[in-house]
Amino acid sequence: MDIAETGVSLADWVCLVENESSFNTNALNSRNRNGSKDYGLFQINSYYWCIDGGVNTANGCNINCEELYEVDAAVSCAKRVVQDRNGIRAWMAWVDHCDRDLSNFLDGCEV
Protein backbone atom coordinates (compact mmCIF):
# COMPACT_ATOMS: atom_id res chain seq x y z
CA MET A 1 0.00 0.00 0.00
CA ASP A 2 1.37 3.36 -1.06
CA ILE A 3 1.16 6.03 1.64
CA ALA A 4 -1.23 7.96 -0.62
CA GLU A 5 -3.61 4.98 -0.49
CA THR A 6 -4.18 5.48 3.23
CA GLY A 7 -6.65 8.32 2.66
CA VAL A 8 -4.37 10.59 4.67
CA SER A 9 -2.85 13.55 2.84
CA LEU A 10 0.87 14.18 2.55
CA ALA A 11 0.34 17.41 4.51
CA ASP A 12 -1.25 15.42 7.35
CA TRP A 13 1.69 12.99 7.47
CA VAL A 14 4.29 15.78 7.40
CA CYS A 15 2.46 17.78 10.08
CA LEU A 16 2.18 14.64 12.21
CA VAL A 17 5.88 13.79 11.98
CA GLU A 18 6.90 17.39 12.61
CA ASN A 19 4.84 17.48 15.80
CA GLU A 20 5.55 13.95 17.03
CA SER A 21 9.30 13.64 16.52
CA SER A 22 10.55 16.87 14.89
CA PHE A 23 11.57 14.62 11.95
CA ASN A 24 13.93 12.62 14.21
CA THR A 25 14.04 8.98 13.10
CA ASN A 26 15.66 8.01 16.42
CA ALA A 27 13.15 9.75 18.68
CA LEU A 28 12.19 7.84 21.82
CA ASN A 29 9.64 8.85 24.42
CA SER A 30 9.78 6.67 27.52
CA ARG A 31 7.63 8.86 29.76
CA ASN A 32 4.22 7.29 29.20
CA ARG A 33 2.25 6.68 32.39
CA ASN A 34 1.52 3.06 31.54
CA GLY A 35 5.20 2.21 31.03
CA SER A 36 4.98 2.01 27.25
CA LYS A 37 7.34 3.86 24.91
CA ASP A 38 6.93 5.77 21.64
CA TYR A 39 9.41 5.05 18.86
CA GLY A 40 10.74 6.75 15.74
CA LEU A 41 9.42 9.35 13.32
CA PHE A 42 5.77 8.66 14.08
CA GLN A 43 6.30 7.96 17.79
CA ILE A 44 4.49 4.64 17.48
CA ASN A 45 3.50 3.27 20.85
CA SER A 46 4.79 -0.05 22.15
CA TYR A 47 1.62 -0.80 24.11
CA TYR A 48 -0.39 -1.57 20.96
CA TRP A 49 1.82 -1.63 17.90
CA CYS A 50 5.21 -3.22 18.54
CA ILE A 51 7.09 -5.34 21.01
CA ASP A 52 10.04 -4.19 23.08
CA GLY A 53 10.07 -6.50 26.08
CA GLY A 54 8.20 -3.95 28.18
CA VAL A 55 4.49 -3.28 28.58
CA ASN A 56 2.70 -4.69 25.53
CA THR A 57 -0.88 -5.82 24.98
CA ALA A 58 -0.63 -6.36 21.24
CA ASN A 59 1.85 -6.22 18.44
CA GLY A 60 -0.41 -4.71 15.78
CA CYS A 61 2.44 -4.04 13.35
CA ASN A 62 4.06 -7.41 14.05
CA ILE A 63 7.42 -5.74 14.60
CA ASN A 64 10.16 -5.22 17.15
CA CYS A 65 9.91 -1.60 18.34
CA GLU A 66 13.54 -0.78 17.59
CA GLU A 67 12.85 -1.47 13.91
CA LEU A 68 10.69 1.67 14.00
CA TYR A 69 13.88 3.73 13.87
CA GLU A 70 14.10 2.66 10.22
CA VAL A 71 12.00 4.83 7.89
CA ASP A 72 10.55 1.96 5.83
CA ALA A 73 9.42 0.04 8.91
CA ALA A 74 8.01 3.18 10.53
CA VAL A 75 6.02 4.09 7.41
CA SER A 76 4.66 0.55 7.09
CA CYS A 77 3.54 0.53 10.71
CA ALA A 78 2.05 4.05 10.50
CA LYS A 79 -0.01 2.89 7.50
CA ARG A 80 -1.25 0.00 9.64
CA VAL A 81 -2.14 2.36 12.50
CA VAL A 82 -4.34 4.55 10.26
CA GLN A 83 -6.28 1.47 9.17
CA ASP A 84 -7.47 1.12 12.76
CA ARG A 85 -10.77 2.67 13.83
CA ASN A 86 -9.13 5.87 15.12
CA GLY A 87 -7.25 6.49 11.88
CA ILE A 88 -4.91 9.48 11.98
CA ARG A 89 -6.63 10.57 15.20
CA ALA A 90 -4.67 7.83 16.99
CA TRP A 91 -1.93 10.45 17.31
CA MET A 92 -2.71 13.21 19.83
CA ALA A 93 -0.10 15.44 18.16
CA TRP A 94 -2.18 15.30 14.98
CA VAL A 95 -5.37 16.08 16.91
CA ASP A 96 -3.72 18.97 18.79
CA HIS A 97 -1.70 20.51 15.94
CA CYS A 98 -2.83 19.21 12.55
CA ASP A 99 -6.62 18.78 12.71
CA ARG A 100 -7.16 21.89 10.60
CA ASP A 101 -6.99 23.12 7.03
CA LEU A 102 -3.55 22.06 5.87
CA SER A 103 -4.03 23.01 2.22
CA ASN A 104 -1.17 25.54 2.40
CA PHE A 105 1.00 23.54 4.82
CA LEU A 106 3.43 22.31 2.18
CA ASP A 107 3.68 25.58 0.25
CA GLY A 108 7.28 26.20 -0.71
CA CYS A 109 8.27 22.55 -0.25
CA GLU A 110 8.33 21.82 -3.99
CA VAL A 111 6.46 18.52 -3.65
Tens-place pLDDT, residues 31-55: 899 999 999 999 999 999 999 988 7
User: 3-93 — its CATH code?
Assistant: 1.10.530.10
Kindly state the DSSP code that residue 31 receives in the 8-state scheme: -
Is 21:38 a contact under the CB 8 Å cutoff?
no
Q: What Å distances lie between residue 33 and 38, 47, 63, 77, 88, CA to CA?
A: 12, 11, 22, 23, 22
Residues facing 45 on adjacent strands: 38
Q: What is the pLDDT of residue 40?
A: 98
User: Per-residue pLDDT averaged across 8-37, rounded?
Assistant: 95
pLDDT band at 64 (very low <50, low <70, confident <90, very high): very high
Would you please indicate which residues are annotated as catalytic (active-site) residues?
20, 38
pLDDT band at 59 (very low <50, low <70, confident <90, very high): very high
Is 38:22 a contact under the CB 8 Å cutoff?
no
State yes or no: pLDDT of 6 exceeds 80: no
Is 52:38 a contact under the CB 8 Å cutoff?
no
For the chain, which residues make up each domain, given as ranges?
A: 3-93
Q: What is the pLDDT of residue 87?
A: 95
- CA 41 to chain CA centroid, Å, is 6
When the pLDDT of each residue in the chain is averaged and rounded to a whole number, the result is 92
How far is the C-alpha of 60 from the C-alpha of 80, rounded, in Å? 8
